[in-house]
Amino acid sequence: MAELTVGSAVPSFAGITTKGEQITKQTYSGKWVVLYFYPRDNTPGCTTEAQDFQRLLPEFEQADAVIVGVSNDNAESHARFCAKQGLTFPLIADTEQTVSRVFDVIREKKMYGKTFEGIERSTFLISPDGQVHAVWRKVKVPGHAEAVLATIRDAR
C-alpha cells in the first residue's frame, strides 16, 4: 500500500462509531475532516489529545470541520471514555484494524521488552473535496490540536 501523502485522494474506508453509526469517506463530504488515530482509550497522552480536540471543537465547527477519533478499542471502551471525558465527537471502534491499515498507521512497537503491533499516533486532515490536505505522523500531543486548527484556518 502506498503511503498517503498531501494531495492523495482519501481511500475508501468504513468504521462503526460508539453509537453504532457507520462513518465512511463520503459521510462528511464537503467538510474538513480531522481523522486522528490514537493508541488507546484512557491513557494519559490519548486523554489529553481527546480533551484538546474537545476543548477546541466549537472552533473546528466554526471552520466547517468535524473531528473523528480512531483506535483499536471496542465500542464499550469508547463509550466509557466519551462519558468520562465528556467527548461529543465520534470515535471509531477499529477492533479489526481495517481503518488503521487503510491509513497505514499500524506499526511494530516495543513496551516492557515485548513487541506488538499498535497504532502510531497520527492525524490526517481531509479537505472538503476528499483529498489529503495535511498529514501528521508520530504526533506529539502538546499543541497538536491547535496546529491542526491553524492548518484549516490557513487553508480557508
Q: Between 18 and 98, where is the model more confident?
A: 98
Q: Is 46 a catalytic residue?
A: yes
**pLDDT tens readout for residues 118-132:** 899 999 999 999 999
- pLDDT surpasses 80 at 2: no
Strands (DSSP E) along the chain, which ranges? 14-16, 22-24, 32-37, 65-71, 91-93, 106-111, 114-119, 122-126, 132-137
The DSSP bridge pattern shows strands 91-93 and 106-111 to be unpaired
Contact 82/89 with Cβ under 8 angstroms? no
Contact 15/94 with Cβ under 8 angstroms? yes
In DSSP terms, 22 is beta-bridged to 16
**Which pLDDT belongs to residue 110?**
80
Q: Which of 133, 137, 102 is nearest to 120 (CA)?
A: 137
Catalytically annotated residue among 34, 46, 99, 145: 46
- pLDDT surpasses 90 at 136: yes
Residue 15: burial class (beta carbons within 10 Å; 0-12, 13-18, 19+): buried
The mean per-residue pLDDT over the stretch 71-86 comes to 96
Which 3 state secondary structure label does DSSP give 137?
A: strand
**Which pLDDT belongs to residue 126?**
97
111: confidence class by pLDDT, cuts 50, 70, 90: confident
User: What structural domains and CATH numbers belong to the chain?
Assistant: 14-155 (3.40.30.10)
The DSSP bridge pattern shows strands 65-71 and 91-93 to be parallel
The mean per-residue pLDDT over the stretch 23-46 comes to 96
Contact 78/93 with Cβ under 8 angstroms? yes
**Which pLDDT belongs to residue 50?**
98
**Which pLDDT belongs to residue 81?**
98
The mean per-residue pLDDT over the stretch 124-141 comes to 96
- Cα separation of 67 and 54, whole Å? 9
- Render the burial of 48-83: b for 16+ CB within 10 Å, e for the rest: ebbebbbebbeebeebebbbbbbbbbebebbbebbe
> pTM of this prediction?
0.95
**Which pLDDT belongs to residue 115?**
87
- pLDDT surpasses 70 at 93: yes
- pLDDT surpasses 60 at 1: no
